[in-house]
Amino acid sequence: MCGIVGYIGKNQAAPFLLEGLSKLEYRGYDSAGIAVYDGSHIRVEKSVGRLASLRDKIEGDMPQGAVGIGHTRWATHGRPSDRNAHPHTDCSGDFVIVHNGIIENYLSLKEELIAKGHEFQSETDTEVVAHLMEEVYNGDFEAAVREVLGRIEGSYALVFLSRKDPDRIICTKQDNPLVIGLGDGENFIASDIPAIIARTRRTYILNDGEFAVVKKDSVWVTNREGEPVTKKVFEVNWNAEAAEKGGYEHFMLKEIHEQPKAVRDTVSPRLSKDGKSIIMNELNWNREFLDSIKKIFIVACGTAYNAGLVGKYYIEKLARVPVEIDIASEFRYRDPIIDEDTLTIVLSQSGETSDTLAALKESKRQGAKTLAITNVVGSSIAREADQVIYTWAGPEIAVASTKAYTTQLIIMFMLSLYMSGIRGTQSQERISELLEALKKVPAQVSETLEDVEPIKTFAKQYGFNEDVFYIGRSLDYDVSLEGALKLKEISYIHAEAYAAGELKHGTLALIIEGVPVIALATQKNVYEKTLSNIKEVKARDAVVIGIAAEGDNELEKYVDHVIKVPETDELLIPVLTVVPLQLLAYYAAITRGCDVDKPRNLAKSVTVE
Ligand code: M6R
């Protein structure tokens, strides 16, 4: 997803712009560019490919000046190329723009501007903004930006630089994140905190419709109507190192290994001192509130959706409230039945996924109560929802989500237990049993991480197969979906998960000699049935890697290899079984020489539709 940076102050802008963009590389991008005001002109330099190409291009001839903006682009309108890379300029070069989002009415604007004689250099939607600036400017930079904002439709984080007013940068946002870092005699702009954390921890997080005029010694924020907004300084309390690799070869591996801590940090603040009940200070729900909810929707994308599947199981099993689950991009267009008796729970690591945000807004519009479960404080989704529960996983940088998934499972589990406590749907003994199991999970996640050698071996043995299948029933099926997603996104192996009972309805035709099948068998009520399905694939000469709990001495009789995870309650075992699947995906990607943290075509945070 596009990344934005900006600098105005007492130092050279370009070094910060390049450093900031490098910290945003995790968002995914295909080209990069910077623009710096050199005292008389704005010099724009951009290049398709990695940031290194841009660095090479300007090495020895770095743009000089103390005000500038920069961008990493993730192509939507127009293929990745130098010309389509941002920043974009008007015909005169006086106005320079970077943008994250989509200008939906750009085609009609472009036609209008071309008719007026503007010459376009790129195929992007963004470039219309620069030409519109040129068209409407009559000596007042801010007024021109406001006028342009009145003409464009869509989603955006936009940053404007003008040769005519080089003592300020103007920025604004709608549905895309933008943060201002407050320095001493200098200020910073970025899509996300990792870009500025090495320079300052004091930030303003812009809300939709806010408009900031950033000078080196001041930041002036107004709302859409031009009325002043008093912003609260948000102090970033995590370390710069938390956003770095900390000795691991990849962010993904680091984040897999951070899971014991992430799970502990997510659980501990929500357990009462005596450890006998769940505290959800974020919610303070009561019986009356829960009785008013007749239906719950869980809505999310990708890994968060996979976590939502487990969440649905937990809520229905423990709290006995009906749950529907939807992929956010489907939910928003399928006209779901939503009313005041509905609770919509959106799950999103980043809190910025465009479809999830839209689903949340649509639910609110139709009167539903809304709850966000997210990892990013102050994110768009966190701010939009009525209530928020944070997964305290820490920054997740790798495109492949790992610790966000396990902490989302933990939150869904704790939320379900909390709801069941209020609704009286589980006995006190069962609640105590589950809480005891929950307390052990962080240490058990550590245990699953202790012996990775067999997983490395399997990855080497099977890493060059073209297809891998994952099977399981019930919660094992939900985890299979996540295992398959991890493998395909980072190793590019075709990986599919199937409900084991569905095999006979078509997929079995794909099972031939030597095809690896990862079979999860941890759920007692369907254990025998899963074994039968394993026998079906073995009978077609598949190579089966079974995933089971420690005490299981049966599965190894029917499979080629077994990976065991510590024993826990079968409701919590997904938090453990997913770990070897994450590792398997990681080492398969390494075996195949893939760029683990930056998989092709993917972005960390999908802030466009
Ligand atoms: O930030 P979000 O949780 O809303 O992101 C949703 C998906 O884009 C994300 O989980 C994606 O599927 C990951 N790359 C999977 O590893």
Residue 241's pLDDT is what?
A: 62
Whether 194 has a pLDDT exceeding 90, the answer reads no
Mean pLDDT of 554-578: 97
Q: How far is the CA of 333 from the centre of ligand 1 (A)?
A: 20
Q: Average pLDDT, stretch 593-601?
A: 91
| pLDDT-derived band at 452, boundaries 50, 70, 90 | very high
Express each pLDDT in 60-103 by its tens digit: 999 999 999 999 997 777 778 899 999 999 999 999 999 998 78
Mean pLDDT of the chain: 93
- Looking at the DSSP bridge assignments, the partners of residue 97 are 88, 160
Residue 5 has pLDDT above 90, yes or no: yes
C-alpha 370 to ligand 1 mean position (Å): 20
pLDDT tops 80 at residue 307: yes
Starting at the earlier edge strand, list the strands of the sheet with 387-390.
323-327, 295-300, 342-348, 369-374, 387-390
pTM of the model: 0.77
- Quote the pLDDT of residue 192: 87
Ligand 1 pocket test target in 252, 256, 349, 373 with most atoms within 8 Å of CB: 349
pLDDT digits (tens, 9 = 90+) for 204-262: 999 989 999 999 999 999 998 899 999 999 998 776 666 567 678 899 999 999 999 89
CA distance 541 to 307: 32
Q: Which two tokens stand for residue 477?
A: 């099926």
Question: What is the reported pLDDT for 1?
Answer: 66
User: Which atom of ligand 1 sits closest to the CA of residue 300?
Assistant: 4
pLDDT, one tens digit per residue, over 95-151 is: 999 999 878 889 999 999 999 999 999 999 999 999 999 999 999 999 999 999 999
Lowest mean pLDDT of 250-264, 304-318, 409-423, name the range: 250-264
253, two tokens = 């591996």
Pocket of ligand 1 (CB under 6 A): 301-304, 348-350, 353, 356, 399-401, 485, 489, 605-606
Q: What is the pLDDT of residue 411?
A: 98
Residues of the chain with pLDDT > 90: what percent? 81
Taking the centre of ligand 1 as the mean of its atom positions, its distance from the CA of residue 247, in whole angstroms, is 25
Q: Mutation test of ligand 1: which of 401, 481, 485, 600 has the most ligand atoms closer than 8 Å to its C-beta?
A: 401
Residue closest by Cα to atom 7 of ligand 1: 302
Q: Are 388 and 372 in contact (CB under 8 A)?
A: yes
The full set of domains in the chain, from first to last, is: 3-244 (3.60.20.10), 254-448 (3.40.50.10490), 453-591 (3.40.50.10490)
Q: Please report the pLDDT score of residue 257 as a whole number.
A: 94
Which residues form the catalytic set?
Answer: 2, 604
Q: What is the pLDDT of residue 237?
A: 78
Contact call for residues 490 and 501 (beta carbons, < 8 A): no
What's the gap in Å between 260 CA and the centre of ligand 1?
20
pLDDT greater than 70 at residue 330: yes
C-alpha–C-alpha distance, residues 597 and 591, integer Å = 14
Q: Whose CA is nearest to atom 9 of ligand 1?
A: 302
